[in-house]
Amino acid sequence: MKRTWALVGLLSATATAAYLCRVNITVAGAMMMRELGLSQEAMGRVFSAFLLGYALCQIPGGMLADRFGARRVLAWASLVWAAATVLAAGAGAAMPLLLASRFLLGVAEAPMFPGAARAIAAWTGPQERGRANGAVIAAIGLGSAIAPPLVSFVMVRSGWRAALVVTAIPAVLAGLTWMAVRTPPETAPAVAEARGNGAPRTRAFALLTLSYTLQGYVGYIFVFWFYLYLVEVRHFDLLRGALMGSLPWLLSIVSIPLGGWAFDRLGARRKAVPVAGLVGSGVLIAAGAHAANAWLAAACLALATGLVLSVEGPFWAAMTSISGPRSGAAGGAMNMGSNLGGLISPALTPIVARLMGWEAALLISAFLAVIAGALWFWIPSTLEPSRSVA
């Protein structure tokens, strides 16, 4: 048991290293644009290059984890993250090389969460997976909270290139650790082959993926637009906007593991957790969008973000229950849906806001959050494969 949770801790540390490599350039971007003469449109293409590689390789990355095991795949992937980050630091104004480095980073990071889900399916029991997945995915909040002060601290002293290189160091350490560590055999619960079992699983997985796609649409709005919304729409100054903008990620460090823990504890009633998290998030988004007081609006939206992220553990735990030994590929497919939602929402939201106002744009996301939660009523809570050696 202790060894299993130590490995879950290593998965969490690896995910944090991955997120540092992912978001470092969003902090360094302002200095890069000034020094290299890049326009906002050019910088946007650099950001999109990562998302393109990341979304396209979710399923292949998960299949690699299924075929070769999470330990091997994450070991080599971590080293490629570091190499791609160093390559971006050395690319300078060579836009093709900069785009290629970020695309490569997206490709290499694609196996991270599907691989972690595959490992958790193999190393933990059904009643531990919500907590385990929640602990790993909490790295989203932790990495997002660490990156701005770390990158800024190094950047103002040694430049953006040094800042990128520094954020590659944890990825190197993670890769070397995975190469050195010994892990249990990666066996997972096999999917029962009883007649008629395939259709319920297929339907459950389709509903789960659709719900996760809608959750991704809502979540990515806060990733890209929350700070700018506070400053430009709610008229916070830069300092107060930055402080409030960090609040959702600090909340998520608690809410993601807590959601996974509650999902495990509630047994047959466990889908109440994602229903409450997603529907509650929708209610708070609607309240924040309509609130006249800027501080109340910011608080409602921050709490909504914490709730929408609290369901990450339940999604991944349910996926492993449905998919068994194919959790890597299935996790990749589910995560690709989330990232497709994430590709759409940051571009669509400002268009809707321009045409109909920000309140309408946020109300649409609130409605989608409620729909995402409602879909869980049709996802079985006890569709658990029988255990066997894969």
Residue 382 has a pLDDT of: 55
- Any domain includes 16: yes
- Any domain includes 160: yes
Q: Which residue range is the domain that position 299 belongs to? A: 198-378
> Would you say 29 and 169 are in contact if contact means Cβ atoms under 8 Å apart?
no
Whole-angstrom distance, CA of residue 384 vs CA of residue 349: 38
pLDDT along the chain (390 residues), means of 10: 80 92 80 79 76 87 86 94 93 83 93 87 79 83 79 85 93 94 65 47 88 91 75 77 76 89 85 94 94 90 92 88 79 86 79 88 94 92 43
Full-model pTM: 0.76
Residue 264 has a pLDDT of: 86
- Any domain includes 186: no
Whole-angstrom distance, CA of residue 216 vs CA of residue 379: 18
Query: 180, 211, 228 — which closes off a domain?
Result: 180
- pLDDT tens-digit map of 252-282: 888 989 998 999 888 778 889 999 999 999 9
Statement to judge: residues 257 and 126 lie in one domain: no
Residue 197 has a pLDDT of: 53
> Would you say 198 and 98 are in contact if contact means Cβ atoms under 8 Å apart?
no
> Would you say 216 and 337 are in contact if contact means Cβ atoms under 8 Å apart?
yes
Measured CA distances, 360 to 20, 51, 290, 313, 367 (Å): 33, 27, 9, 30, 10
Statement to judge: residues 114 and 258 lie in one domain: no
Whole-angstrom distance, CA of residue 194 vs CA of residue 201: 11
Number of domains making up the chain: 2
Residue 381 has a pLDDT of: 63
- Any domain includes 388: no
- Any domain includes 143: yes
CB under 8 Å to 70, separation ≥6 — which residues?
A: 11, 115, 116, 118, 119, 122, 183, 186, 328
What CATH number is associated with residue 209? 1.20.1250.20
Residue 107 has a pLDDT of: 94
Residue 122 has a pLDDT of: 81
Statement to judge: residues 218 and 150 lie in one domain: no
> Would you say 134 and 259 are in contact if contact means Cβ atoms under 8 Å apart?
yes
